[in-house]
Structure 1
Amino acid sequence: MLELARAQVPEAQFVLGDMRHLSFSPNEFDAVTAYFSLLMLSRADMAALLTEVRAWLRRGGLLSFSLVEFDADSVEVEFMGTTFQASGYTEAQLPAVLEHAGYEVVSLRTVDHAPIEGPSEAQVFCLARPLENR
């Protein structure tokens, strides 16, 4: 994936690493995205990372992420023949999770995804910004 990304945007900087252990300077980014990667974390690790990301964002910066909608913490899930631990929240739970991490929700939307094979799933897409009084 990094090779494909670098080929598409050669002037960008891409980092390979465990998201729980990345370190960036405060106010370094205008935006941070995480599409279907946070679900690989426990809820405790997700909360810690959301708080850390808040510090990386500049004033007015945005966090954009998505999760599969389900209410669970570190449960065993099978996806494409691989079993792993996954966590999630419902759309109704996310505003409180984000507020606790220091964000305000800009938009929150759940859509049903129906793959060609397999069951459909609800996917939550969120856009949030750090609270100004942080």
Structure 2
Amino acid sequence: MSEELTTAELFDAIGTRYEEAFGHRPVVDAAVRELIEVLPPSARVLDIGSGTGRPAAAELAAAGHRVTGIDVSGEMLRIAREQVPGAEFVRADVREWETAPGTWDAVCAFFSFVQLSRAETEQVLGRIAGWLAPGGRFALVTVPADIEDVPIEFLGHSIRVTSFSADALADRVRAAGFEVTGTRAERFAPGKPGAEPEEHLLISARKPG
């Protein structure tokens, strides 16, 4: 394996290749459509790990919502600002970023937690619940698997990943204070030669109130 990179270094190096390989994921498209259908006009939406800004921030902003994306990669933020001028993008680590409680109508996190530890994921889920307004929506997409700190090759780079099984992750979403309103799983084949198909899981949730 090549030398392992931090999350910021990884996505700085990958840049637009990420969108080329993973830009058309059905569960992400479904999650964004679902948010657009249920959110009030001009909703405040936080996109955690916003990447290149597409499709999530782009489609939510085009639907008239006030979108803020946060990401640790300066290169991803540069691309996102260029591609989605109608949204705001901030360089930040979700484990440390602060925002006022109860001010977001929706939060989406699409493949944003796989390089966090399980304890960090649980802490971040609790932080998200605090950031959402009562009745706010949460859309989480990940690769479900009962793995912890496993080394893998990802688009030519070495990283370590952690995840939960589908049921275990849904349990942790509930434990953070959410009502799980639905789940959806699909097999996805990345648009990259040699990349293995993987399962994607969407957990849709709502903060009671």
Answer with 6-15 or 35-44: which moved more: 6-15
Answer with 63-72 or 45-54: which moved more: 63-72
Distance (whole Å) between structure 1 residues aligned to residue 114 and residue 100 of structure 2: 25
The structure with the largest helix share of the pair is 2
Cα distance, 1:77 vs. partner? Answer: 2.0
Cα distance, 1:14 vs. partner? Answer: 1.6
- 3-state SS in 2 of match to 1:107: strand
1:69–1:121 CA contact under 8 A, matched in 2: no
Would you say 1:108 and 2:209 are equivalent positions? Answer: no
Per the alignment, residue 6 of structure 2 pairs with none
Aligned AA (2:155): M
1:27–1:59 CA contact under 8 A, matched in 2: yes
Would you say 1:35 and 2:35 are equivalent positions? Answer: no
Per the alignment, residue 86 of structure 1 pairs with 161
Cα shift readout 1:36-95 (whole Å, capped 9, x = no counterpart): 111110010000000001100011111112111211122222211211121112222222
How many residues of Structure 1 are paired with residues of Structure 2 in the alignment?
132
Per the alignment, residue 19 of structure 2 pairs with none
Aligned residues with identical type, % of pairs: 34
1:91–1:110 CA contact under 8 A, matched in 2: no
Q: How does 1:14-93 map to 2 (within 5 A)?
A: 14-93=89-168
TM-score by length of 2: 0.59
Gaps spanning 5+ residues in structure 1: where? Answer: none
Distance (whole Å) between structure 2 residues aligned to residue 80 and residue 64 of structure 1: 25
The structure with the largest strand share of the pair is 1
Answer with 28-37 or 46-55: which moved more: 28-37
Cα distance, 1:8 vs. partner? Answer: 4.3
Cα shift readout 1:92-134 (whole Å, capped 9, x = no counterpart): 22221111111111111111012353221111111111234xx
- 3-state SS in 2 of match to 1:89: coil
Aligned AA (1:70): A
TM-score by length of 1: 0.88
